[in-house]
Structure 1
Amino acid sequence: MEKTDTTIQKVKQKIYKAGYKLTSQREDILRVLLDNEHLSAEEIYLKVKSENSGIGLATVYRTLELLSELNIINKIAFQDGISRYDVNDNDRQHQHHYLLCLNCGKIDEVEKDMLIDVEKEVEKSYHFKIKDHRLTFHGLCKKCIEEADDQNKG
């Protein structure tokens, strides 16, 4: 059984435990999310619709909200105001940190959590129990830096 099928079986169990079913449309949406990262609801809809013409945008939105509420997927909002989604890796204590290119909009992930010591200090200093944190670095990706350098040379 491949990784995608294993993940779908785990999600199916989690959805059933919450009192829902993994319908074929929900599974189609989940498969798109497993194959792609950081897609908007509209992008997910277009990918699913190419395989399942009977799906509607409202169904995609409802499914994304349900999967987000069940902590199966992460809903990530960046400065452009568009929510993007990716599958939640339950083995992680926290969500990824992100690198957002201000020029082309590319999103990369920093998987290593380097804020554990900062969290401990915040909890101690502010008597606050942290459950999660999100961090986005805004800047320029390697490709955009190289293109800017090339333009400046010419």
Structure 2
Amino acid sequence: MESNNLRKAGLKVTLPRVKILEILEQKRDDHMSAEDVYKALMDAGEDIGLATVYRVLTQFETAGIVTRHNFEGNQSVFELDDGSHHDHLICVECGHIEEFVDYLIEIRQREVAMQHGFELRDHALILYGICNNCQSAKRR
């Protein structure tokens, strides 16, 4: 599966690319920094350097395989781009990221863009707050 994704994106199939794509697919529900990907590779016994991880993730972003996000703290995190849109809730205490889709918000954003004469091309909605776990921990 990974090799086909790389070929479709116009990238040569190399061991580092395949291994990094495998990690991203295994951690599909996570938003991983380059350092997270590197640590997962090290834990799996793979000898791929951090500079290679950064380079491959940038190539994947250019090819549309991953999406890069710069949430609070300016650290880039990556997730596989499956073509569907979602927004994010970020916990300012622990950094937990929750994805969500709200069709009313999507409709309203398009309406606002039209009201201001904009042709909407893309958007990102990030809501910052405190997750249930952190709220519960504060109550104890």
TM range (shorter): 0.7 to 0.9
2:64 to 71, 80, 84: 71
Say if 2:87 and 2:101, in contact at 8 Å, map to a contact too.
Answer: yes
Say if 1:98 and 1:135, in contact at 8 Å, map to a contact too.
Answer: yes
Amino acid at match of 2:26: D
What aligned pairs does 1:117-132 form with structure 2 within 5 A after superposition? 117-132=107-122
Residues 12 and 74 from structure 1, CA distance in 2 versus in 1: closer, same or farther, beyond 3 angstroms? same
Q: Find the counterpart in structure 2 of residue 148 from structure 1.
A: 138
Matched, 1:11 2:1: no
Q: Find the counterpart in structure 2 of residue 105 from structure 1.
A: 95
Alpha-carbon offset, residue 14 of structure 1: 1.9
Structure 2: tracts of 5 or more residues without a match: none
The alignment partner of 1:138 has SS state of: strand
TM-score normalised to structure 1 length: 0.81
Alpha-carbon offset, residue 10 of structure 1: 4.5
Q: Find the counterpart in structure 1 of residue 12 from structure 2.
A: 21
TM-score normalised to structure 2 length: 0.88
Alpha-carbon offset, residue 66 of structure 1: 0.7
Q: Rg bigger for which structure? A: 1
Matched, 1:82 2:72: no
Aligned residues: 138
Residues 9 and 55 from structure 1, CA distance in 2 versus in 1: closer, same or farther, beyond 3 angstroms? closer
Q: Sequence identity, in percent?
A: 30
Say if 2:3 and 2:18, in contact at 8 Å, map to a contact too.
Answer: no
Q: Find the counterpart in structure 2 of residue 32 from structure 1.
A: 23
Deviations 1:104-147 (A, max 9, x none): 11111113444322232133222222122111111111111111
Q: Find the counterpart in structure 2 of residue 54 from structure 1.
A: 47
Which 10-residue stretch deviates more, 56-65 or 44-53? Answer: 44-53
Residues 35 and 113 from structure 1, CA distance in 2 versus in 1: closer, same or farther, beyond 3 angstroms? farther
Coordinate RMSD, CA, aligned? 1.7
Distance in 1, matches of 2:4 and 2:127, equals: 32
Amino acid at match of 1:76: H
Structure 1: tracts of 5 or more residues without a match: none
